[in-house]
Amino acid sequence: MRARRTPVAIVAAAFLGLGLVAPTSAATAAGGDADTLKATQKIRDAVSAKSLTAHLKQLDAAAKRYGDRAAGTTGYDAAGRYVEFKLREAGYKPTRQYFDFEFEEIQEQEVTVAGAAVEAIVATYSPSTPAGGVSSTLAVPTTPLGCDAAAYAGADVTGKVVLVSRGDCSFGQKATVAKAAGAGAVLIANNTEGPLNATLGDPAGDYAPTLGITQAEGTRLAGLVGSAATVDLQVLRETRRTFNVIAETKGGDADNVVMLGAHLDGVEDTVAANDNGTGTAAVLETAIQLPKQKGLKNKVRFAFWGAEELGLIGSTEYVNDLVETDPTALDDIATYLNFDMLGSPNWVTSVYDADQSTYASTVPIPAGSIETEKAFRDYFKAVRKPVVDTEFSGRSDYQAFIENGVAAGGLFSGADGTKTEAEQLLFGGTAGVTYDPNYHTAKDDLANVNAKALHLHGDAVAHLTLTLARSTRVIDVPDPTARTFSVKKKVAYGLPDGVVRR
């Protein structure tokens, strides 16, 4: 854990041992001195609150006109055309990388236990129930996690609605084992606060119909085992096509590429302003302003990912394509910077914790990732803004990159986690409330975006992009011709525990 001195003694005491960083008076930036900060002032001024909001309004208009900008929809296509138009205006030649994905739409959803409705979220790739639904009783396995056949030994779950707990194995495994045991449907209770947004991992898996419920709802239902239970779930599923938008600077060292990205898609039935219009706006405006800067030595590549919300599909397709067709191109990427949610209403500024000073990581941490984290931290020190850690978990579009040895880093303003009292001291807002109470809901609209947070994070995106475009010295990347990575593999969509989260 990290403990740092701060000029405010009472604050220092609150932060000690929590991995939090208070503002300092240091005049250092990524690059080692105040000159670097001064050199990026022009692009940071250009990546203004006004310009970022202008992009958000266009993305909002596209989603409102067509209903949302979920992957494979007309709204997503409209958002993609807007991004491409602005990139062409700035002198880029954007390309589309098309890929197929499994589209699904919930046409019917009803869950009841003991005659009362249960609020639940359908797991991505869940199959439908038979027409008319499952009407039986609520049951539990012999052991609550339901991870293997032994967990159901002696339990009669045939045709019943089974309640299991999150943990120890993937959601897909729980749904597969339940189906094999004869369950008619599965309710997975969260093991922490907040809703459970799950993906089962494989569109072709042999699953029982599966939905996620909150920890509190799971506790309540545990007292109703044996009560009447129904699940009626009808899901339209079909193969659709969508795309990533990729653009890069005309010049710069192609053997030392700085890459940054944000996902352009959102969840269904929302304009997805914070998740992830904010990241898209910051990356897009940085791309627009970068060619106007001087001293660009490295090639910079921008990505606007499709189908992130369905399991990181677009970014995974991009990396897998390089693994298959041009694996040396991965060695040319000095670092990948990911920006997913930068304007949460009850925001924090958090950086991916590559040095594991706060959170132990269970995913690869490629060389250069710790230095990338430090570069972000040095910037926030220089502008005297606080910063905290968020898990380096691979739970966003950097997953496929780190699985193949590419350094990564990024910023995150918070989703469904809860703000602590120490974070309230640092950033304001309200302790005990989630960072984005409207996360993945229809209320994630323009009013949900904190303009101050977006501008603050947009400045950081612009600063580090320009700094690395001029020199990757600050992230200690070796000579690109000498860099080799032992890992080169195609990566599966989604995440080990099936949760698409940062």
**Same domain for 269 and 163:** no
Mean residue pLDDT across the chain: 90
**Same domain for 273 and 161:** no
Containing structural domain, residue 199:
104-237
Sign of the Cα pseudo-torsion (67, 69, 71, 73, in order): positive
Q: Provide the pairing of β-strand 121-122 with 134-139.
A: unpaired
Q: Is 244 inside any structural domain? A: no
Sign of the Cα pseudo-torsion (78, 82, 88, 89, in order): positive
**Same domain for 388 and 258:** yes
Which three-class secondary structure state does DSSP give residue 174?
helix
Residue 497 — very low, low, confident or very high, per pLDDT cuts 50/70/90? very low
Q: Provide the pairing of β-strand 95-113 with 116-117.
A: antiparallel
Q: Is the pLDDT of residue 11 over 50?
A: no
Q: Is 265 inside any structural domain? A: yes
- Return the pLDDT at 477: 57
Q: Provide the pairing of β-strand 134-139 with 253-263.
A: unpaired
**What amino acid occupies position 384?**
R
Q: Is 495 inside any structural domain? A: no
For the domain that residue 68 is a member of, what is the CATH number? 3.40.630.10
- What's the mean pLDDT in 345-364? 97
Number of domains, the chain = 2
Tokens of residue 453, six digits:
């947070």
- Return the pLDDT at 319: 98
- CA gap 496, 100 in Å, rounded: 22
- What's the mean pLDDT in 77-91? 98
**Same domain for 332 and 221:** no
Report residue 331: phi and psi, to 5°: -65, -25
Q: Is 13 inside any structural domain? A: no
Q: DSSP class of residue 478?
A: P
- CA gap 81, 144 in Å, rounded: 48
Tokens of residue 410, six digits:
């990024």
Q: Is 490 inside any structural domain? A: no
Q: Provide the pairing of β-strand 388-390 with 350-352.
A: parallel
Which three-class secondary structure state does DSSP give residue 420?
coil
**H or E segment at 240?**
strand 228-248
Report residue 321: phi and psi, to 5°: -65, -40
| 71-85, 93-107, 177-191: range with lowest mean pLDDT | 93-107
- CA gap 172, 176 in Å, rounded: 6
- Return the pLDDT at 194: 84
Annotated catalytic residue, options 217, 308, 403, 423:
308
Residue 332 — very low, low, confident or very high, per pLDDT cuts 50/70/90? very high
- What's the mean pLDDT in 426-446? 96
CB 161 within 8 A of CB 189: no
The vertex-455 CA angle with 453 and 459, nearest 5°, equals 120
Tens-digit pLDDT profile for residues 129-182? 999 999 999 999 999 999 999 999 999 999 999 999 999 899 999 999 999 999
Beta-carbon contacts of 109 under 8 Å, excluding residues fewer than 6 positions away, are: 120, 122, 211, 232, 233, 234
Tracing tokens 């991965």 back to the chain, one arrives at: 330
308 is an active site residue: yes
**Same domain for 472 and 346:** yes
**Same domain for 164 and 79:** no
Q: What share of the chain is helix, strand, coil (3-state, %, to 5)?
A: 35, 20, 45
**Same domain for 186 and 209:** yes
For the domain that residue 210 is a member of, what is the CATH number? 3.50.30.30
**H or E segment at 375?**
helix 369-382
Tens-digit pLDDT profile for residues 207-233? 999 999 999 999 999 999 999 999 999
**H or E segment at 54?**
helix 49-66
**Residue 475, CA distances (Å) to 228, 336, 374, 404 in order:** 59, 12, 8, 18
Which three-class secondary structure state does DSSP give residue 242?
strand
**H or E segment at 235?**
strand 228-248
Q: Is 498 inside any structural domain? A: no
**Same domain for 108 and 87:** no
- CA gap 166, 211 in Å, rounded: 12
CB 31 within 8 A of CB 49: no
DSSP track, 39-52: HTHHHHHHS-HHHH
Tens-digit pLDDT profile for residues 37-58? 999 999 999 999 999 999 999 9
- What's the mean pLDDT in 340-369? 97
Q: Is the pLDDT of residue 75 over 80?
A: yes
Residue 478 — very low, low, confident or very high, per pLDDT cuts 50/70/90? low
Domain boundary among 237, 257, 290: 237
CB 372 within 8 A of CB 378: no
**H or E segment at 457?**
helix 451-470
Domain boundary among 196, 211, 237: 237
- Return the pLDDT at 328: 92
- Return the pLDDT at 10: 29
Q: Is 375 inside any structural domain? A: yes
**Same domain for 374 and 470:** yes
Residue 201 — very low, low, confident or very high, per pLDDT cuts 50/70/90? confident
Tokens of residue 451, six digits:
């303009």
**Same domain for 266 and 215:** no
Q: Is the pLDDT of residue 1 over 50?
A: no
**Same domain for 411 and 350:** yes
Q: Is the pLDDT of residue 81 over 90?
A: yes
Residue 198 — very low, low, confident or very high, per pLDDT cuts 50/70/90? confident
Helix axes 451-470, 369-382, angle to 10 degrees: 120
**H or E segment at 389?**
strand 388-390
- CA gap 326, 321 in Å, rounded: 8
Domain boundary among 186, 214, 237: 237
**Same domain for 327 and 372:** yes
Tokens of residue 66, six digits:
């067509």
Q: Is 133 inside any structural domain? A: yes
- CA gap 407, 23 in Å, rounded: 27
- What's the mean pLDDT in 358-366? 95
- Return the pLDDT at 156: 93
